[in-house]
Chain A
Amino acid sequence: SPELLRHDEL
């Protein structure tokens, strides 16, 4: 999901 993709970044 786009949310997980965002939270993958530091």
Chain B
Amino acid sequence: MNVFRLTGDLSHLAAIIILLLKIWKSRSCAGISGKSQILFAIVFTTRYLDLLTSFISIYNTSMKVIYIGCAYATVYLIYMKFRATYDGNHDSFRVEFLVVPVGGLAVLVNHDFSFLEILWTFSIYLESVAILPQLFMISKTGEAETITTHYLFCLGLYRALYLLNWIWRFYFESFFDMIAIVAGVVQTVLYCDFFYLYITKVLKGKKLSLPA
């Protein structure tokens, strides 16, 4: 555990809780892509199956359980409790174009051709692109609520901090995982355009809106 890893995890947790609270307090999931949230629920489920096979630490187990629980709670709020506010018409990204190629890649490029390892690899690849339906939705409507941009910033920051964590681990622990690193770089790059808008607009008190 190093400082980048810990702040990355906390940033990830903050993102998840910001989104849950935003939906709960406003009683609305307007502007939130349900498809991205389903993809994140699949990501956590397929990655954390190791909860059943190996114990690493109390921290590790509790964070995994919290992430999975929050992911399903978010999906429940969007598709059940507040489904009347769900903006399905604008959430039109075709997720099969992500899930099918990512599944194929996980079968082809992995560390070990076993069921759990392929699911772990699938979750790493899927996480790297799971935010695309949300970004697509924002580009389609041309705007995002400020609280939604805080959510996205924390989510992007988490993977950027993990990149620093991997550099740290490479130097001080001689450990690196090429699958996680390549997917993590892809994931972080997808947020760059958003980071720019967040810093130049949202942090200066303006609403995030895209030119028509």
Please list the residues of chain A having a beta carbon within 8 angstroms of any beta carbon in chain B: 2-10
Say yes or no for B87: interface residue by CB 8 A criterion: no
A2 to B117, CA, bound (A): 13
B68-96 contacts to A (CB < 8 Å): none
A9 contacts B5, C-beta separation under 8 Å: yes
B175 contacts A10, C-beta separation under 8 Å: no
Say yes or no for B143: interface residue by CB 8 A criterion: no
Cβ-closest 5 pairs across A and B: A7-B50, A8-B56, A6-B177, A5-B175, A10-B63
A10 contacts B54, C-beta separation under 8 Å: no
User: Which A residue's beta carbon lies closest to that of B112?
Assistant: A3
B56 contacts A10, C-beta separation under 8 Å: no
The smallest beta-carbon distance between B1 and chain A, in angstroms, is: 8
Say yes or no for B64: interface residue by CB 8 A criterion: yes
A5 to B56, CA, bound (A): 9
| Of A4, A5, A10, the contact of B12 (CB 8 Å cutoff) | A10
The smallest beta-carbon distance between A3 and chain B, in angstroms, is: 8
- Give chain B residues whose Cβ lies under 8 Å from the Cβ of A4: 54, 56
A10 contacts B177, C-beta separation under 8 Å: no
Say yes or no for B183: interface residue by CB 8 A criterion: no
A6 to B50, CA, bound (A): 11
B177 contacts A8, C-beta separation under 8 Å: no
- Give chain A residues whose Cβ lies under 8 Å from the Cβ of B120: 6-7
Q: List 9 A-B contacts (CB under 8 A).
A: A2-B177, A3-B111, A4-B56, A5-B175, A6-B111, A6-B180, A8-B56, A9-B5, A9-B180
B54 contacts A7, C-beta separation under 8 Å: yes
User: Which B residue's beta carbon lies closest to that of A5?
Assistant: B175
A7 to B60, CA, bound (A): 9
A4 to B27, CA, bound (A): 41
A3 to B179, CA, bound (A): 12
B12 contacts A7, C-beta separation under 8 Å: no
The smallest beta-carbon distance between A10 and chain B, in angstroms, is: 6
